[in-house]
Every structure is written in C-alpha cells, then in structure tokens.
Amino acid sequence: MAEQKIDLRNLKAGGFIKERGKDLFTVRLRVPGGRMSVDRLSKIAEVAQKYGKGYVHLSVRQSIELININFADFDAVVAELGEEQQKVASCGARVRVPTACGGCEYNPNGLVDTQKSALEVDQKLFGTATGHHKFKVCFAGCPFDCPKSAINDVGFQGAVWPKLDADGCISCGLCAKSCTEGALSMGADNKPVFDAARCIYCGDCIKVCPTGAWSAERKGYTVRIGGKWGRRPLVGTLYATFVPEERVVEFIATVLAWYQEKAEGAGRVRLGDVIIREGWQSLLERLRGYFPEYVVKETIAPQVIQSQLPLPGQHV
C-alpha cells in the first residue's frame, strides 16, 4: 500500500468534491442556516486566499465552497479552518446541512427561531447516513417561506394561530386592513371577525395590533414532506401543523427512520419517491403515532412537476 499523504478520515463525511482537472477539489463548508461570525468569515477568506483559486462560491444551500483546492492540501485546509471551528460539510446519501432564513431576532416577519432549529438539527443529525439518498431539511420563519419548505425532504415553516381578546380591542381596524388573506373583516359590532379557513397563520394581525388584543394561541412549524428538485422534481405536501420547536429533531428522526426502513433495498431513491411508492398513509400514520396532536387528518402524495414531456416511467 502506498504511503498515505493525507488523512482519509477527513473525506469520510464527504464535502470534498472532485473538480475538472488533475488533483483539484471543491471543499464545501458547513454553514447551518447560512449564518457565521465575521471572525470565521475572515478565516475562510484567509484559507481561500492561501490554498484556492482567488474566489469562493456561495452555494444554493448557503454554504461557502472553496474552489480549486489541491488534494495534497486537505489536511492543512481542515486544520486552519479548525482554528475558527469551521467544519467541512457533506455530500452523498446523508442528512445535509440544514438551511434557514435569517431568523426572528432581527427579521420582523420571523415567527419562530429558525436559526436555533437549524443549529440544533445540524448538531444532532448532520451527516447521518440514510442508506439511500441525500436528505435535505430547511427552516422558514414565516409563510413567505424563502427557504422553500416544499422542495426539501422535510421542510419547516413557522406559523402562529391568532386569538382575539375582544375586551382589549379598540376597534381600530388595523388587523383587518393588514390581513392579506381576507381572513379578517370588521363586524357589525366594530370588532374583527375571524374566518379561520382563510388564515395562513402569518401573524400579521398580532404584529400590527396596537393593544396586544391579538396574541398567539399556538405557535410552531408547518411541516411539508417529500419535496426535492433536480432531474425529476417533486413538491412536498403537508403532514403536520404547529409542531413545537423543541420537537423538531424528534420529528425529523421519525421521518428518517421510516425512510430508512421503507427504502431498504431500493437503491438510490429520495424520500418523495418512496412516499409515492408506499402511499402517504404509511408515513402519516407513523407520524401520527408520535405526534398525534400535530399531524393532519390526511394529505396527498408529493406532486410531480413536469420538467419536459412525460418521461418514460413517470406516472402523472
């Protein structure tokens, strides 16, 4: 056996991606939720300058990718990034680094702490081998859904259910005016009338209410499952509402266990395709066993996006 020039353990979780040309790799960095300290950013810039091509790439999933890294420099790159606790990400059939929006601390639309969720999932589930294919998770703080929950294997989107304290209401009408969905109108008694069927749980009424008469009765994540993009896109569908932030890891782990079990022997197949094959009822019932108060009554299969004329074997 040839003498080992680099520590192969660094390669185990992936994150080193072969480029065109001899000896060159892209090094994908682990940036859960797309947030990093400026100190870490400076360190990455320093490493990229020293070992790379003179530029980096910001990946679609919020990672920084170092370009044109010679494989002989892997150990040095890992060690120097480690000075600022910067780790390398993954590729392949694993739980990927979660993405998230900016977060509720400074974004006025944020309803839940997506940054905290992304960090927790990254710590507890990142790199878990699925046995089948990649597994992507994202966290959106509000119904604008910038991280696109429906095109992740499991996508979370923050939501609040509003509750009115009629005695605290001063009949200003701001909530009805702010409600883009038409779920609120001013009634004959000059108090807002709530049409729950039209509410998308954005919380605009709570945010605009001058007196705090509107408050959050329930808060948590809407969960969509089975989405993916790529060659054969699928749009994920609704499985649960108002899942509490502290149960997110357990929720993902439950979906992951179902996926690992049901895709056994199926090869390289994404969660959405397994749901189509097994039927959504199977996954929904599994989740109901653990999360009865949050799982929806029924759902639909992931929705096929036609990216061209029907492909052979693609049933629509």
Told to check if 108 binds another protein by CB under 8 A, we report yes
DSSP-based three-state secondary structure for 140: strand
Angle between helices 280-290 and 248-262 (to 10 degrees): 140
Is residue 253 within the footprint of another protein (CB under 8 A)? no
- The Cα-based distances of 2 to 22, 44, 71 in angstroms read 19, 32, 16
Q: Under the criterion CB under 8 A, does residue 177 sit at the interface with another protein?
A: yes
Tokens of residue 206, six digits: 């709570």
Binding piece for another protein, criterion CB under 8 A, among 4-12, 173-181, 233-241, 301-309:
173-181
Compute the least distance from the CB of residue 204 to another protein, in Å.
8
Please select the residue that binds another protein; options are 42, 85, 123, 180, rule is CB under 8 A: 180
- Per CB under 8 A, does 215 bind another protein? no
The neighbour count for residue 156, using CB atoms within 10 Å, is 32
Is residue 187 near another protein by the rule CB under 8 A? no
Closest contact distance (angstroms) between CB of 269 and another protein is: 44
- What does residue 242 show for φ and ψ, rounded to 5 degrees? 55, 40
Residue 204 touches another protein, criterion: CB under 8 A:
yes
From the list 6, 41, 200, 208, which residue makes contact with another protein (rule: CB under 8 A)? 208
Crossing angle for the helix pair 271-278 and 248-262, nearest 10 degrees?
A: 60
What are the start-end ranges of the E strands in 4-63? Answer: 16-18, 24-28, 56-58
Is residue 200 part of the contact set for another protein (CB under 8 A)? no
Contact 239, 275 (CB under 8 A): no
Q: Which of 11, 24, 119, 172 binds another protein (CB under 8 A)?
A: 172
- Smallest gap from Cβ 56 to another protein, in A, equals 31
Least distance (Å) from another protein to the CB of residue 208?
5
Interaction between residue 178 and another protein (CB under 8 A): yes
Cβ neighbours of 231 (radius 10 Å): 7
CB atoms within 10 A of CB 101: 24
Kindly indicate which of the ranges 95-103, 166-174, 270-278, 297-305 contains the residues binding another protein, using the contact rule CB under 8 A: 166-174
Q: Under rule CB under 8 A, how many of the chain's residues touch another protein? A: 13
Token pair 């990229």 is found at: 48
Nearest to 287 by CA among 316, 246, 247, 227: 247
Contact between 57 and another protein by CB under 8 A: the answer reads no
Residues at the site binding another protein, with contacts judged by CB under 8 A: 108, 170-174, 177-178, 180, 204, 207-208, 210
